[in-house]
Structure 1
Amino acid sequence: MVEYEDYFEDDFVSKSQLKREAEALQQLGEDLLSLTKAELAKVPLDEDLEAAFALAHKIKGKHEAYRRQVQYIGKMMRSRDPEPLQEALDKIRNKHNQATAEFHKLELLRDRLLSGGNDALQDALNEHPALAEEMQRLRQLIRQAAKELKENKPPKSSRELFKLLRSTLHD
């Protein structure tokens, strides 16, 4: 005789769980749609999904059509493995976060150079020996930036200093 409890299998998935999974896949599709075309090209999409994304980008201004297209993309994603797509999305976002962090580090270094004088310059040279090649230009830009700040002029030299730091330290 079959027990009542044995009748239900262990891999039973509730309707609510199925809805949550479908919504998660649709959200992944929306996140992928927020990428630029160049970033989206790095995501491993099959031809059908690629065409669906291209159409969604084309009709983005038409609210209701775009909403239906996003739902369709979510439906298409249910029959595909979402892990490679999620990994590619995470990789792209992480690169963006790393670029932002590098940008902020360069800004902090520039601000330290502008406010710290020779001690800050020496500390920067100890941290980043590559800057020694640009020592004369660094000193010149720091002096010009201080002068511009004192005279309430646009921070042209400060921007040039940032560009110099970026090109010297990250190329």
Structure 2
Amino acid sequence: MTDYTDDNEEYSGPSKSELKRQAEYLQDLGKELTELGPETLAKIPLPDVILAELQEFHKMRSFGAKRRQLQLIGKYMRSLDGNQVRLAIDRAKGNDKAAVAALHKSERLRDALIAQDEALTKFIADFPEVDVQLVRQLIRNARKEAQNNKPPKASRELYRLVHNMVLPPLILEVKEEEEDTDE
């Protein structure tokens, strides 16, 4: 029985088929991005070039033009990590379990901060990088708003601050472009 494996063979990277699957996956993510509303899309930290191409896609009426634009969006998407983009889309749509848990935790923390002074001490211990003066100001304003039956503007700002501490925003890393020798 002959052994056909060569132990000296080095890994030369993903196969053409694997590269094509990755490109198609990223193009599918690009298509999914075109289906998102502007508010949801604003929550995803995409590079400016991709955002511009997505806006251009929505201006087009022709099926063929939209198909070509999707391919261009897919090309630009190749510079991003597909898993990070998927996570960012899920987080923006509210489908990410970690994001939902962070949302609930942020609401509880905000309510505790407004209700009791001891919660601020624990919050500062948990998140030492927070701007303490801003947090105290927001708590004070939120308490005044609640007392005077005014809209909860400071409470919302406090929630946003707490949420950004509990679940920091995703940063989509752009991969270094490899030199194209066929141009």
Structure with bigger RCO (C-alpha 8 Å, 6+ apart): 2
Q: Which structure's residues are more often helix, by fraction?
A: 1
Whose radius of gyration is greater, 1 or 2? 1
Return the TM-score normalized by structure 2. Answer: 0.45
TM-score (norm 1): 0.48
